[in-house]
A and B are shown apart, each in its own frame.
Chain A
């Protein structure tokens, strides 16, 4: 399969969206485009399986390389391994669901869909780039649309949130770029090529400076404590699809970068800073969970819980075992699907009740059985119920973390384990208050989900259940990628 398709398809869709005359056409094109992306992601998955089945053991498949900026040794180098395929699948799921739930956007529909598709372009490009310069380029493409999505279609303190998000993510990007340049100039190869860099031994002094730059830079995206404060404000101000893309895709760009770029090419740095990463991620997990417990707005609840859940991604990376890193990637996929669904369902509730305050809702199960069933499923996924994706990912991280016999990592793992109780507390408080109890007065006439909302929810639930019930396929997809990183680490 030609990986350029993953960039060209969103590009063509985006252009087509701009050429459409009315909102109806725009939506049709966007839906067709995202459906095509969805299909393409599965074509990629099965193509990947087929290549592996025929005995192709190359680290990266479907590689392509074009000279782009020869004097700087920058090339347009693409390729995927199992980890990237998993992330691309996630993106495709979130994109189609996001397009579907935005069906009722009336304000500047064309621009809205254009930005959504543009964001997906950035994400696909990011996940298939093997040259760090173009990887950075796509990272930026994925940041800009978010500023506009929040600033124009957002609600509440949208200007503040948009500025904060854009500036914090820009600051993160700046750190990434500085780190990349540091690596570029410190080796004789003067290369941005990931494959080439992974073969080199980057000087230890460079790693000591550039690893934290890259890790923190990418970490800002994935809510690394204490750089997570854009998350609650950004999510709660964003329109529904914006929140879904933000949490489902953008936060995963960071986790992927931490693993694929920072940890992979600078293993010495990773080992050196592992302790700090673990401490910060455990803080994020527990502190995020406790902070969630005190939130009253559904979007804030999911945003803070994302801080806690993304902590597992960073914990898995920081533990530096094959199992824990596999768990980290699984958690990214799982959290991406789950949190996108959570925001989608919050959006559906908000559209009907015009409130997101938990205290102002009750007994909604009676009026909207479908939406509330989805809320239950996503809540149970969030608190790690077996059969849904969250459980598999968290347990893999725990098992991987426990492989270290030292007391520090043991304590960290136990503390992280404790979060499953706190998660249960805040999820059940929010879900039971919203769904159960007597029906709040004034909500007697509310309608259940429409076709597009049902379809969006079912797509994401299918993903969550596919991982939760049969995790082996995701594990088999991801763990060889983690194995490669592990080999580099133990060299």
Chain B
């Protein structure tokens, strides 16, 4: 008998709540009772969540989601959490629409892969239960984020994913670099979140609600009072509506590591590699894209200016990150910049999109790329994890010729590289084509940036690929390199032996599953399910249009092959010939240094230090002077300074009586 999925809020709520249960159980009792079984517990709970998410998505897309050909925004659950005033409340709810249904699947699936992979990768770690507890916390928060029906609810889960990310980046807590990285990630995104918060205040003030559906409906219909007030109110020539959206976007840009708020992402690679795959590649970092997509009707209909800003920020981030990625030597950092660059693609795809019908191609393309990117980028990170697990170093120079020793990792990594480079028929090709087409139709300058970036992408990915799996022949891997940056320093020693090639089944299975995804996900007719207005969008394939990006991609691959397939001095010569640009890109365009200057020199020295000094010397000085003055006077008058409370109490009483008499005299 066929089971017809029903819209039932209970089991949808279980999707995020099961990982939360895992977090609480493992976090509180893990160290004592589940020392060895915590991985299995966490993974099992997530497996149930994944099945429920698939069931929900299936039901939504194929059974009840569509009404008269349009996918609806259903709110099966809503619970008032904190009422501020009439109509304005934070509700905890679940929204089901195409993007949230898709994200439920993406988040649970990638998280499940990472849970399984970590069974092998983190085996023997002394804080194993804590690790799985944190993964559960993150998965709960991310799932809560994607189903949020209320803009403040999304902010709440936004902060929670931020703190989970903080905890996981700092997982190797005795390593000073990891501690610095987790602090940096939290503070930079916190700074961006202030923008988000103020944006929420502005949008909710004008629309009179925090509920997404009502808020979007109010702010997209020009006849409502909320729209009128938001459009009429202005600050330095920009309407309140645009300010609100731009500020919300700043929050999104922080979380999604958009230029210039991206500085935390490369450092975040200090976390365990599976964590980087989950949080800093596939799910959390796309939250900013998701946020813009969630508010997309408001951006597209009511404030095209804000949307254009989204487009340019995305395009610039894509290009800058790709340039930096070409010069980095730490494989995880290359992947981090690559992530930033690909998220830039998603962002500008939204930026060049319009609302409704054929013009909404960019929206569909963005979500499509988010989906395919989650597959191949998680795969790249997990593959990199397998390499690091084997070689105990993050540095390219320590690698080479690994294709013979890590055959499965090699093939899956290659598939992921082909997918991200946009080689047909792998997944990235399809989503990237749609993005480029949307950019071509709406904003030529962004199109050109995107085209150049796609060539660079192919180049740096294959630079990475050839450096790891080809290039100088295997001679390094045999000696285990003493590297302070290796993610799990004592892992190998504890396992009691030499590196033995591929990790176990737990590590290989996710690689293979994700590789299948990265290979075939492109054939999903995404526009049928996800579009800006919920209607079916036919995305045609344009052969003549695909030629340029594919040719550029292949060129990138061949240049990388020519330079890096075998050991030679071409890379150094090339770098020398481009000295200025190369050096700047190698130093990440000095953006970190600029931040350091602002925070250390300006905020600490010009604000913090004076504030503390003033407090100690001026404000407190006055208090002490008053005290000393009183003392001196009392010494003059009484000649005694007993320090006894009883006496003070008498003075006090006398004073009060005196004042009381004064008042009685005054008013009577």
A300 to B339, CA, bound (A): 41
Within the complex, the shortest CB–CB distance from B458 to chain A, in Å, comes to: 39
A395 touches which one: B152, B198, B622 (CB < 8 A)? B152
Does the CB pair B623–A166 fall under 8 Å? no
Do B163 and A380 touch (CB < 8 A)?
Answer: yes
Question: Does B84 lie within 8 Å of A323, measured CB to CB?
Answer: yes
Closest A residue to B611 by beta carbon equals A290
Say whether A164 contacts B84, CB under 8 Å: no
Asked if A294 and B197 make an inter-chain contact with CB atoms under 8 angstroms apart, the answer reads no
Considering only CB atoms, which chain A residue lies closest to B179 in the complex? Answer: A436
Interface positions, chain A 392-416, Cβ under 8 Å from B, are: 392, 395-396, 398-400, 402-403, 405, 413-414
Residues of the B chain whose Cβ atoms lie less than 8 Å from the Cβ of A386: 155-157, 159-160
CA distance A163 to B624 in the complex (A): 11
B191 at the interface (CB under 8 A from A): yes
Chain A, 423-470, CB within 8 A of any chain B CB: 424-425, 428-429, 432, 435-439, 470
| Cβ contact within 8 Å between B83 and A475 | yes
Q: Does A385 contact B (CB under 8 A)?
A: yes
Residues of B within 8 A of A383 (CB): 190
Instruction: Judge whether B183 and A363 touch: CB under 8 Å.
Output: no
Known A174-B656, A363-B174, A435-B173; contact A424-B182, beta-carbon cutoff 8 A: no
Q: Are A399 and B608 in contact (CB under 8 A)?
A: no
Contact of A294 among B152, B159, B170, B612 (CB under 8 A): B612
Chain A 167-219 interface residues, beta-carbon cutoff 8 Å to B: 167-168, 170, 174, 177-178, 181-182, 185-186
Residue of B nearest to A407 (CB): B235
Are A429 and B183 closer than 8 Å at their CB atoms? yes
A385-B163, A386-B160, A428-B183 are known contacts. Are A402 and B82 too (CB-CB below 8 A)?
no
B-side contacts of A47, CB under 8 Å: none
Contact in complex: B84, A399 (CB < 8 Å)? yes
Residues of A within 8 A of B80 (CB): 472
- A398 with B201, Cβ < 8 A, contacts A385-B159, A386-B160 known: yes
Please give me the residue from chain B that is nearest to A425 by CB atom. B187
Cα A413 to Cα B205 in complex, Å, equals 13
Residues of A within 8 A of B197 (CB): 398, 417, 420
Q: Which residues of B lie under 8 Å from residue A399 when comparing CB positions?
A: 84-85, 88, 201, 204
Q: Is A275 an interface residue (CB 8 A)?
A: no
Name the one of A166, A421, A432 contacting B182, with C-beta atoms under 8 angstroms. Answer: A432
Check if A271 is an interface residue, CB within 8 A of chain B: no
Give the residue name and chain of the B residue nearest to A330 (CB). Answer: B82
Contacts of B163 in A (CB 8 A): 380, 385
Q: Does B627 contact A (CB under 8 A)?
A: yes
Shortest Cβ gap from B624 to chain A (Å): 8
B47-55, B531-539, B540-548, B657-665: which one contacts chain A? Answer: B657-665
Does B8 touch A at the CB level, under 8 Å? no
Does B85 contact A403, Cβ atoms closer than 8 Å?
yes
Distance of A258 Cα from B73 Cα, bound (Å): 46
Does residue B597 face the partner (Cβ distance < 8 Å to A)? no
List residues of B (625-663) whose CB comes within 8 Å of A's CBs.
627, 643, 645, 648, 652, 655-656, 659-660, 663
Report the bound CA distance from A424 to B189 in whole Å.
11
Task: Judge whether A181 and B659 touch: CB under 8 Å.
Answer: yes
The winner among A291, A366, A421, A479 for most chain B CB atoms within 10 A is A291
Q: Is the CB–CB distance between A170 and B611 below 8 Å? A: no
Q: Is B397 located at the chain interface by the 8 A CB criterion? A: no
With beta carbons under 8 angstroms apart, the residue of B156, B173, B668 that contacts A436 is B173
* A137 adjacent to chain B (CB < 8 Å): no
Q: How far is the CA of A398 from the CA of B655 in the complex (A)?
A: 41
Name which residue of chain A comes closest to B27, CB basis.
Answer: A373
B191 to chain A: which residues have CB within 8 Å? 421
Q: With an 8 A cutoff between CB atoms, is B176 at the interface?
A: yes
Q: A170-B648, A322-B85 are in contact. Are A185 and B666 (CB under 8 A)?
A: yes
Interface residue? A109 (CB, 8 A): no
**CB neighbours of B194 from chain A (8 A):** 417-418, 420-421
- B609 to A, closest residue via Cβ: A294
User: With a CB–CB cut-off of 8 A, which chain B residues contact A273?
Assistant: none
Q: Chain B contact residues: over half helix, strand or loop, or mixed?
A: helix
Q: Is the CB of B645 within 8 A of A144?
A: yes
CA distance A471 to B152 in the complex (A): 14
Q: Which of B82, B204, B627, B645 contacts A471 (CB 8 A)?
A: B82
Q: Which of these, B88, B190, B668, contacts A424 with CB under 8 Å? A: B190
Distance, CA A166 to CA B611, complexed state (A): 25
Interchain CA distance A365-B664 in the complex, whole Å: 62
- Chain B residues near A392 (CB-CB < 8 A): 82
Whole-angstrom CA separation of A178 from B655 in the bound complex: 10
Known contacts A174-B656, A420-B190; is-contact A437 B648 (Cβ 8 Å) = no
Given A291-B611, A402-B201; A421-B173 close (CB under 8 Å): no
Residues of A within 8 A of B604 (CB): 293-294
Chain B hits for A185, CB < 8 A: 663-664, 666-668
> Chain B contacts of A366 at CB under 8 A?
174
The answer on a CB contact under 8 Å between A385 and B668 is: no
Cβ of A73 < 8 Å from any Cβ of B? Answer: no
User: Given that A174-B656, A291-B615, A428-B187 are known contacts, is A400 also in contact with B84, CB under 8 Å in the complex?
Assistant: yes
Q: Which of B160, B615, B622, B643 has its CB near the most chain A CB atoms (within 10 A)?
A: B615
The residues of B that contact A148 with a CB separation of less than 8 Å are 645
A391 at the interface (CB under 8 A from B): yes
CB contact between B174 and one of A228, A293, A420, A437 (< 8 Å): that residue? A437
B residues within 8 A CB of A436?
170, 173-174, 178-179
Any B CB within 8 A of the CB of A287: yes
User: For residue B175, which residues in chain A have a CB less than 8 angstroms away from its CB?
Assistant: 437
Name the CB-closest residue of A to B159.
A386
Knowing A380-B163, A386-B159, the reply to whether A439 touches B81 (Cβ < 8 A) is no
Give the docked Cα–Cα distance between A437 and B176 (Å). Answer: 5
Q: Are B656 and A437 closer than 8 Å at their CB atoms?
A: no
Q: Please pick, from B31, B82, B652, the residue contacting A174 in the complex, using a CB distance under 8 A.
A: B652
B648 neighbours in A (Cβ, 8 Å): 166-167, 170
Chain B residues with Cβ below 8 Å from A174 are 652, 655-656, 659
Encoded as 1 (CB less than 8 Å from any A CB) or 0, chain B from 457 to 500 comes to 00000000000000000000000000000000000000000000
A147 CB–B CB distance under 8 Å:
yes
Closest to B180 in A: A432
Within A309-338, which residues are at the interface with B (CB < 8 Å)?
322-323
How many angstroms from the CA of A19 to the CA of B302 in the assembled complex?
74
Minimal beta-carbon separation of B648 from chain A (angstroms): 7
- Residue B345, interface by CB 8 Å: no
Contact residues in A for B187 (Cβ distance below 8 Å)? 421, 424-425, 428
Residues of the A chain whose Cβ atoms lie less than 8 Å from the Cβ of B31: 369
Set of chain B residues within 8 Å of A428, measured between Cβ atoms: 183, 186-187
Report which of A177, A182, A380, A438 forms a contact with B656, defined as CB distance below 8 A. Answer: A177
Query: Residue B513 at the A interface, CB < 8 A?
Result: no
Instruction: Name which residue of chain A comes closest to B193, CB basis.
Output: A420
Is A357 engaged at the interface, CB distance under 8 Å to the other chain? no
Question: In the complex, what distance in Å separates the CA atom of A247 from the CA atom of B170?
Answer: 31
When the two chains form their complex, are residues A396 and B174 in contact, meaning their CB atoms are under 8 A apart? no
By beta carbon, the residue of chain B nearest A178 is B659
Nearest-Cβ distance from residue A158 to partner chain B, whole angstroms: 13
With a CB–CB cut-off of 8 A, which chain B residues contact A156?
A: none
CB of B567 within 8 Å of the partner chain: no
Residue from A177, A229, A395, A398 in contact with B619 in the complex, judged by beta carbons closer than 8 Å: A229
B41 shortest CB reach to chain A, Å: 20
A105-116 vs B: 1/0 string, CB under 8 Å? 000000000000
- Which residues of chain A are within 8 angstroms of B620 by Cβ–Cβ distance? 229
By Cβ-Cβ distance, the 8 closest A-B pairs, closest first, are A294-B612, A290-B611, A386-B156, A436-B173, A185-B667, A229-B620, A402-B201, A293-B608
Q: A163-B627, A291-B612 are in contact. List 13 more A-B contacts (CB 8 A).
A: A148-B645, A177-B656, A294-B609, A323-B84, A365-B173, A391-B156, A396-B82, A402-B205, A413-B201, A420-B190, A420-B197, A421-B190, A425-B187
Question: Can you identify 14 A-B contacts, CB atoms within 8 angstroms?
Answer: A147-B645, A159-B643, A164-B623, A174-B659, A177-B659, A182-B663, A229-B620, A363-B174, A420-B197, A421-B194, A432-B182, A436-B170, A437-B176, A472-B81
